[in-house]
A and B are shown apart, each in its own frame.
Chain A
Amino acid sequence: MDIMLRIISALADCFTIAASSIAVYLFLFQRDKISAAFKTLINYSTQLTLTELTSKIDRLNDLNANDELQNSQVINILNEIEGQIKGNPRLIKQFPEVIAEIEPFSSQRSKITEPKKRSVVALLREKIRSYDVDFKNS
């Protein structure tokens, strides 16, 4: 019984050594690949957010802010956009003007009208476009 236990613990130690040496090896020699994989994941999520923002722009464009019923939908979409930008640490750094522009309307401190909506859409579209270009070049 005693021998059995010893064999098992020796075996377990061997596996521990093997596993931790793999970790050390990965850390020392494959660090670039791991960080690249993480970067790809983060980039992918940012890219996804940008695509979603673009589709929200199209939805905003189809709504008329001067129409009372559609006005609340416009405010909802603006809130969604604001949330998405604030939820992404990179975007919030890149798009502070957009947040500043949307904020009064999403918090309903001032009323959004059709021309104001178009201004927001134009600004957001340009920001996404220029950020997208930088992003793909980086």
Chain B
Amino acid sequence: METKVIRVINKMITNSKRIGNVIKSSQSTNEYFFTYKGSYKWSIMESPMANGEILLYYYPMNLNLHEISMLLEPEIEFITYKSGEFKSKEADESFRELFSIVKSKYLGMDKVLDDILNESDDLPF
């Protein structure tokens, strides 16, 4: 079971094109909601604690992502996976990479980077 989570995370990193609809949580500062393959709803956040643990939540509910992001604790169903619980280097790296991918998607970094890279080099001045 534990391993499956790590493997799923790495699958999402490999197929990061399938991560979509990234929205920022209105309640916690460093949490991002996203869907994978359009229908699986997740959120990922960096813990504000000093250890900077990454937390990954899965929402089995039949609501859309925006509605889920608005719900508060008691009325929401979710499963939590914490990077610290796995106690292995590969787990920590996997959680962290997924978090940075989701965050860059939210900030539209691939477009920014593409735009900078695709600019032609021979400017008039």
Once A113-B14, A126-B2 are accepted as A-B contacts, the answer to whether A119 and B89 lie under 8 Å apart by CB is: no
Contact A116 B14 (CB under 8 A): yes
**Would you call B10 and A119 a contact (CB within 8 A)?**
yes
Chain B residues positioned under 8 Å from A61 (CB to CB): 88-90
Is A78 an interface position by the 8 A CB rule? no
Q: How far is the CA of A49 from the CA of B7 in the complex (A)?
A: 24
Q: A113-B14, A123-B7 are in contact. Are A118 and B2 (CB under 8 A)?
A: no
> Is residue A83 within 8 Å, beta carbon to beta carbon, of the partner chain?
no
The CA-CA distance from A125 to B90 in the complex, in Å, is: 10
Binds A, one of B53-61, B91-99, B116-124: B91-99
Cα of A22 to Cα of B97 in the assembled complex, Å:
66
**B3 beta carbon closer than 8 Å to chain A:** yes
- Distance between Cα atoms of A126 and B2 in the complex (Å): 8
Chain A residues lying within 8 Å of B102, measured Cβ to Cβ, are none
Q: B3, A122: Cβ atoms under 8 Å?
A: yes
CB neighbors of B among A45-83 (8 A): 61
Residues of A within 8 A of B90 (CB): 61, 117-118, 121-122, 125
Check B3 against A115 for contact (C-beta < 8 Å): no
Q: Are A116 and B10 in contact (CB under 8 A)?
A: yes
A61 — nearest CB in chain B belongs to which residue? B89
Q: Are A118 and B3 in contact (CB under 8 A)?
A: no
Residues of A contacting B68 with CB < 8 Å?
Answer: none
B19 lies within 8 A of chain A by Cβ: no
Task: Find residues 12-61 in chain B having any chain A CB closer than 8 Å to their own CB.
Answer: 13-14
Chain B interface size band reads: 10 to 19
What are the residues of chain B within 8 A of A126 when measuring CB–CB?
Answer: 2-3
* CB <8 Å contact, A118 and B14: no
A113 contacts which chain B residues (CB < 8 A)? 14
CB–CB B88/A115 < 8 A: no
Min Cβ gap A61→B in Å is 5
Say whether B6 faces chain A, with CB atoms less than 8 Å apart. yes
CB of B66 within 8 A of chain A? no
Bound form: Cα–Cα A126–B7 in Å? 12
**For residue B111, which residues in chain A have a CB less than 8 angstroms away from its CB?**
none
Bound: A39/B13 CA distance, A? 44
A–B Cβ pairs within 8 angstroms, 10 of them? A61-B88, A114-B97, A118-B6, A119-B10, A119-B11, A121-B90, A122-B2, A122-B6, A122-B90, A122-B94
Sample of 5 further A-B pairs with CB below 8 A, known A119-B6, A122-B3, A122-B10? A61-B88, A117-B90, A119-B7, A121-B90, A122-B7
